[in-house]
Structure 1
Amino acid sequence: MSYTKEQVDEHLNLLKGWTLVEERFIERKYVFYSFMKGISFVDEVATISEAFNHHPLITIDYKTVILRLTSWDEGYLTAIDMKEAQQYNEAFEKMCSNERKNVRQRS
């Protein structure tokens, strides 16, 4: 069942970095230190997406990865979009955390 605009706004307040675009999608831009880190993130996004059987639109622009979600069958956004967006955020945070640990260990 698709969310109302108010429900989408409520969820977006809890999802770091995600915004509503074109009144149909939620979108977030993730920026990485290198091209290959972005590609590694896309691999993780693919794994998460397969588990949900719900796939985002993905744009790779050098070190920036842009994800867009919507539920086409429902005609708008649903709980699955919000849950998946949260998991993408968690994967990104984990990746960044691991990168910071690696930098500290090399110092």
Structure 2
Amino acid sequence: MHFTEEELREQVSKLEGWKLEPNMMVRKYMFNEYMKGIAFVDEVAAISEAFDHHPHITIDYKTVILRLSAKEESGLAALEFRQAHEFNEAFDKTR
């Protein structure tokens, strides 16, 4: 299921920390220790493999930024929102 622009804004507002950018969703995760961020990235990798959909990952010391773009050309869909939710759950467990 693909969303209209209004539906996208509504869906992303339900996800803590996520923001919409053109053709993608972005979240910055902050950690108090470098290795916790690395452990989180390991969790993100496992989740991404399960979804067969992989975000762009930037690691900058204690900050991890995930950019999740649409898997299909028609835009962000329910898949990306479910995946972002799982990333948030992994963050809650890791920090």
Q: Percent identity?
A: 54
Q: Which runs of 5+ in 2 are unaligned?
A: none
Q: TM-score, normalised by structure 1?
A: 0.83
Look up the match of 1:47. Answer: 46
Q: Distance in 1 between matches of 2:52 and 2:8?
A: 21
Q: Which runs of 5+ in 1 are unaligned?
A: 97-107
Give RMSD over aligned pairs.
1.1
Look up the match of 2:9. Answer: 9
Runs of 4+ in 1 over 2 A off after TM superposition: 72-75
Q: CA deviation at 1:87?
A: 0.3
Higher helix proportion, which one? 1
Q: Which amino acid aligns with 1:81?
A: E
Q: Distance in 2 between matches of 1:65 and 1:24?
A: 20
Q: TM-score, normalised by structure 2?
A: 0.93
Higher RCO (CA 8 Å, separation ≥ 6 residues): 2
Please list, as runs of the form range in 1=range in 2, the aligned pairs for 1:1-107 lying within 5 A after superposition. Answer: 1-21=1-21, 23-96=22-95
SS in 2 for 1:77: coil
